[in-house]
Chains A and B, each alone.
Chain A
Amino acid sequence: MYSIRRWWDRHGIRIGLICLVLGAAWGVRQTQGGAVLEVYQWVTRPFVGRPDEAQQAESVRVRELEQRLVELQSQNQRLQELLGYVNERPTEGVVTPVIGRSADHWWQQITLGRGSRDGIQVGYIVAGNGGIVGRVTQVTPSTSRVLLISDPTSQVGVTISRSRFMGYIRGQSANRVIMEFFDKVPDVRPGDVVSTSSYSQLFPPGLPVGIVESINLNKSPAPEAVIELSAPISHLEWVILYPNSTVEESGTSEPLSQDSQSAEGFTEEERL
């Protein structure tokens, strides 16, 4: 008994400290670093400027509008064929500063300076100047974390706006993403506009994504195209957050796997 007591006197503080440190670290992990992000937002608040509308590159804006136009023209044609198809009007977005990038190089994430206090929820769509950027995966009271579409784990169902051929994009950790087609011989040309498809459960259809840069039709099992994202994903300073209607309907339990599953289900159908 006495020896245990003496051992405890000698090592008790150290064991207590180790437990404290590991407990705190575990807490940070379970809360997804929420406390750290709150402190980070508080520290960086003085350095975040205001959005300067005039400074935003005009050519990028024009490109976005052009892409939307192509998308709308194509959609319009289909509307004339499909009676009763109702297009949802885009809702007002929240302009938000980007306060941080991902804390590791293997993940493509950004941290935004607004959170649940401003009404942001998990699943919100994040758009940059020119097209979609990603979606909100985690929210703290005043920050939110965004998984970019350039991350290899985010797969988005997309369509070629001109010919309506479907596929999905996989991130490549850079400003280029790979689009895999569901068809063996898709009608696609370099310069075609790519937008989100109605098969994507994470993003509403018709949002601009990027432009086809090059095509590899011989790729197995499916043809691939390299898409240049239209939003400047590596140097974003301000983004716009939109509420996502598609997620609210389908539920947010396992959104990522749902999306890839639905994409695969579609592949099966197409091949049959």
Chain B
Amino acid sequence: MTNLSIKNLSQLHPNTRRMWDWAVTAGSVLLCLLILPTRLPGMELLQVAPNWLLIWVVAWSVKRTVFQGAIAGLALGLIQDGMTSPEPTHVLSLAIVGIFTARLQKQRYIKEDFISIALIVFGMAVLAETIIAIQFSFHSFGRDASEAQRTLSEIWIYHQRIALSSAILSSLWAPAVYYPLNRWWEQMSELEQPQT
């Protein structure tokens, strides 16, 4: 089936194929966005669901440049801000995740498999939640006690809980996003090679 699709794709005009590439990429982002508010059975741990956009950013940035990782984090961060609340922003956490993942240069140090992707997602999920918690802490510093909506101790106790459960769940679900996307992008770059 995959051979057939490759043959079909290779017969397409390069520009049409690129359009398909972008459509599939954008469609996968849309799919992640639509799964985000659902709580399907088996996707919840302590009322925390996997961070699908983070998984997508990691899958995108693993084999790309730092700049591409940052752009992806920026775009998805803006979208997630729209889905929840713009303050504090998700742009910072997702952009840093994109940059760090691209900087890892996985091919050079780590073997290419699901375990390493799951490990990267685990670490990045903890990092992302920590960045958000730090932003919340800065917000709480600026105000006095009666005005602050979250106290420092509340933020960091809550952070422990959701960083751990979000990291575990995201890393377990990471292959579900990474495997099909990675396969698609690999095929695309293979087809791109002889042309250029």
Question: Does the CB pair A33–B132 fall under 8 Å?
Answer: no
Q: Is B154 an interface residue (CB 8 A)?
A: yes
Q: Is the interface of B mostly helix, strand, loop or mixed?
A: helix
Given that A22-B74, A102-B37 are contacting pairs, would A29 and B149 also be in contact in the complex, using a CB cutoff of 8 Å?
no
A-contact 0/1 string along B69-82, CB 8 Å cutoff: 00100111111111
CB pair A25 B76 closer than 8 Å: yes
Interface size on B, residues (CB 8 A): 39
A109 touches B82 (CB 8 A): no
Count, A-B residue pairs, CB within 8 A: 96
**A residues in contact with B129, CB < 8 Å:** 105
Q: Check: B9 CB closer than 8 A to any chain A CB.
A: no
**Which residue of B33, B76, B136 is within 8 Å of A36 (Cβ)?**
B33
Q: Which of B22, B75, B86, B162 contacts A22 (CB 8 A)?
A: B75
Closest to A47 in B: B38
With contacts A22-B74, A103-B37, A152-B150 known, is A173 near B83, CB below 8 A? no
Find chain B residues with CB under 8 A from A107 CB. Answer: 84-85
The tally of residues in A whose CB lies under 8 Å from a CB in B reads 41
State whether A101 touches B37 (Cβ < 8 A).
Answer: yes
Query: What CA separation (Å) do A172 and B150 show in the bound complex?
Result: 9
Interface presence of A163 (CB below 8 A): no
A111 at the interface (CB under 8 A from B): yes
**Chain B residues whose C-beta falls within 8 Å of the C-beta of A46 in the assembled complex:** none
Would B146 and A36 count as touching, CB distance under 8 A? no
Chain A CB within 8 A of B63 CB: no
Residues of B within 8 A of A33 (CB): 33, 79, 82-83
Q: Closest B-chain residue to A234, C-beta based?
A: B47
A30 within 8 A of partner (CB)? yes
Q: Given A40-B34, A260-B147, does the pair A104, B75 have CB atoms closer than 8 Å? A: no
Residues from chain A with a CB closer than 8 A to the CB of B51 are 104
Please name 7 further chain A to chain B contacts, defined as beta carbons within 8 Å, in addition to the given A32-B83, A100-B37, A105-B47, sorted by A numbering.
Answer: A17-B22, A25-B78, A40-B37, A101-B37, A107-B84, A152-B150, A152-B154
* Contacts A/B (CB < 8 Å), 9 sampled: A29-B81, A43-B34, A103-B83, A104-B80, A105-B49, A105-B162, A106-B84, A107-B85, A172-B154
